[in-house]
Every structure is written in structure tokens, then in C-alpha cells.
Structure 1
Amino acid sequence: MGVQMPPNAMSGQVHTDSHHANGAAQGAAVLFDVDGVLIDSYAAYRRIWTRWALYRGLDPTIVWSHTHGRRPVDTIAVVAASLDAEAEYRLVRDFMAEEGDAFPVYPDAAAVLHVLHAERWGVVTSGRAQTVRQRLHAGGLPDPPVLVDSTHVTRGKPHPEGYLLAAELLRTPTERCLVIEDAPAGVEAARTAAMTVIGLTTTHSADELAHAHHVVSSLTDAKPLIQDWLRR
């Protein structure tokens, strides 16, 4: 199953590391969501979206229910269709900037990524690449060989476009990609892309992640599954 490359991907704006991504397809690949998987952003984003919802006179609970795994502009378009989504996203980013360093990496993320130092891997995020890299670096994590962010797709999760693009950049068939996700929208996106999914119960219950192939509580618990996947 292929994917139509967006113009900015073809112009090289999708981050790739040539050592990992430009050779012939081989082995397997592991793809990570970022928020709720590598970065513990739940509390900070809850504050940000609550603040925005109250600022616009919206129900924070309803707004929050539409945020998980989705691009902010897509969330805004659903909960406040009469507003300019791009303009509102700039306001959300202003609120985000005021949170400072309230986006720590999970303590077990480094050990998992260390296993992948010589493997094919990347991230598919609903955030923006610059912000993601800053937060990963601040937590001592490496730069992903492939990073697909919200600006590289025309349709965010639960559409599979982001994961299909990552597989294309890694030159890995979708059925040989393992995805680590924490949100139902991300699980749906990966499954629609014909990928195997591990769901982490960091932000959602096991019942909410029931469509994932495996459900575990942390990256530590996911590590042996990832290692097994890479050995196949």
C-alpha cells in the first residue's frame, strides 16, 4: 500500500537520516508516536486545552476528548468550526510556550531507543518537528532518523497518511512496521496502514486501546515485544 508524497516531503523537509533511510528495504522498522509514548505531555496539554476552551467559552471536557492523537488544527476544526483553525492554533502554541519545560521524556524511553540505535525507526507525530526535537533533545533522546509531523500530511490521525509516509521514507513495507501508540486515533491510523500496533496505557485504558495487537502499560513492558519484532 503506497502513499502520495506531499510536496514538502519531496522537497526534503521531512527529516531523514540517510544512513538509515536511503538504502534498499531490509529488516523491520519501529515507529513511535511522541506525546504519551516518548514524552509525558498529558498534564501540560490538559492545562493548555482547558485554558483555550475556557478562553473561547467551550466545554473543556468535550474539547479534550477530541485532542488525543489528532493534529491541533483538526481538533479546533471539530470543536469550533466557526473559528479560524490556524489562527486558534497560534493561540494554543502561545499557551504551550508558557508551559516551558513541562514536557519530560518518559524515564524508560532512552533504554528502548538505545535498542534501536542501529535499527530502522522513526516518529509520526501530530505535533511539529522543531518542538518535538527540542523536547527529545532536552530529555537526552536521539534525533529520529525519520520524523513525520503534522505539516507533512494533509490528513492527520486517524487517517494512515503519516504512517504510510514514514514507511515509505524508511523503505520498509507496511507489514514490517511496528507502531507504538497511546491513543485510539493513532491505533486506528496504524492498523489502517496494515501495521502491527502496541498500545501503551499511559493516557487511555486498555479497553480504549482494544484494537491494538498488544496492550501494555509502559515502554519497559513494550521493550521485549520490540526486540522480538526486530529479531524476526
Structure 2
Amino acid sequence: MVVLPCSAVLFDVDGTLVDSTPLVEAAAREWAAEYGVDADDYLAGAHGRRTSDRIAEFLPAERVAEATARLDALEASRTDGITALPDAVRLLDSLDGLPWALVTSMDLGQLRTRTGVAGVPLPPVVVTAERVRAGKPDPQGYLLAARELGADPSACVVVEDAPAGIRAGRAAGATVVAVTTSHDASELGEAHWIVPDLTHITATPAGLTLTTTL
């Protein structure tokens, strides 16, 4: 058992609290066929990153905005397969008195849709793709969330599922806990702590407790 005292908890969303993998993959494959991009190559490094940042690695700069809008539209047209990950709602509901925020590579519309379908609550502080100049692995999102909660980033715990998000949390100076819901533990080694999923995290007013670590 590991006890992590903290002033606030900063959660990633997709892959950490919500699973929208079927939707994201179906939309990406349709988009890739339209734009002549290898879907497997695109998806291999897309999770946890802003859509525009990933698309910029495949298309010329002048096509990024239009291509991003198209992929966003394809994702927005679907809600199939969106679910809350095990114990996500239980953990959030148990954060009684412990400030928390969401920091996601999704835009606000995507966030509201996916959390709404999954039944995951939204806190007062949410940092979405359009609120930062640079997405994960840049720490801007986590630094902004900590600032808006009035917390020192070094006193925050970040909960993530993807390497890009882990690097962002560490660069912000936070303690990072990774869940193996989308990546194997061997890919999450930059996190301070790794747990199988949220069922192994409990909350107290003073912080988080990890009941099992990998």
C-alpha cells in the first residue's frame, strides 16, 4: 500500500476515466482513408495527444486545421461504445474535500459528450485542448489546472494512462500515477507509480492511497 498526500488530483480523461476506444478508432480509420494516411501509423501515437498535434505529423501545415476539423466531426457524430472505466465514478465521488480537475487532449465539446454518455461528472476546473498553446507532453495543461485550483503543482497527483500525459505531469512537477488501461506497464515506466486500474486507488481528504502497485 502506498499513501500519496496531496493538495489536488489532476485526472486525464480518455483512457483514464472514460473508454471511447471503439469510437476513436472507427473515426480515425475513416478519416485516414479520406486523407491517404496509414491508419495504424496514425493511431500508434495518437492516444493522449491533441488531434491537431498528431495530424501535423502526417499532413502539411496548411491542411492541419481542415483535417483536424474533419476528424473532430467524425468523432462528434458517434457515441457508440463510450463507457466509464471501472470505478471511475466511485473514485470521483469519493474525493470529498480534495480538489480535483480534468486535463484532457479533447476539446470541450468532445469532453462534455463523452463524460455525459459515460456518466462521469465534470468538476469546476477543466482544461481542454483549446485552452493551451501546446498539448501533452507539454506541461501547460497540468500547470494551468493546478493554478486554477490554487495548488502548487509539486503538491498535486496526476492520474494518467498514456506516455505523453505521464511526461506532461512529470514536467509540471507533479507526482504521476499511471493506470494500465490503454498501455502495458512496460510503456509507462516514466510514471512514479503504476496501478492496474482505478479500482486500486482510494481517496481521503488528505490524498490518495494505492492499494496495489506494479
Same fold (TM over 0.5): yes
Counterpart mapping for 1:72-111 below 5 A: 72-81=51-60, 84-111=63-90
Is residue 196 of structure 2 the alignment partner of residue 217 of structure 1?
A: yes
Taking only aligned residues, the RMSD between alpha carbons, in angstroms, comes to: 1.9
Q: Which residue of 2 aligns with 1:182?
A: 161
Query: Is contact 1:157-1:185 (8 Å) kept?
Result: yes
Query: Is contact 1:175-1:194 (8 Å) kept?
Result: yes
2:91 to 112, 120, 123: 112
| Displaced runs of 4 or more, over 3 A | 226-229
SS at match of 1:212: coil
- Number of residue pairs the alignment of both structures matches: 204
Is residue 183 of structure 2 the alignment partner of residue 208 of structure 1?
A: no
Deviation at 1:193, TM superposition (A): 0.6
Is residue 212 of structure 2 the alignment partner of residue 230 of structure 1?
A: no
Counterpart mapping for 1:129-140 below 5 A: 129-140=108-119
Unaligned runs of 5+ in 1: 1-26
Q: Which residue of 2 aligns with 1:13?
A: none
CA displacement, residues 26-46 of structure 1 (integer Å, 9 cap, x when unaligned): x61001001001110122212
Deviation at 1:137, TM superposition (A): 2.7
Between the aligned partners of 1:53 and 1:83, the Cα distance in structure 2 is: 17
Counterpart mapping for 1:161-176 below 5 A: 161-176=140-155
**Percent sequence identity over aligned pairs:** 38
Deviation at 1:117, TM superposition (A): 3.7
Q: Which residue of 2 aligns with 1:4?
A: none
Structure 1 residues 86 and 129: CA distance shift in structure 2, 3 A: same
* Between structures 1 and 2, the one with greater strand share: 2
TM-score relative to the length of structure 1: 0.82
Unaligned runs of 5+ in 2: 1-5, 210-214
Between the aligned partners of 2:100 and 2:24, the Cα distance in structure 1 is: 26
Paired amino acid for 2:159 = I
SS at match of 1:179: strand
SS at match of 1:53: helix
Between the aligned partners of 1:82 and 1:31, the Cα distance in structure 2 is: 32
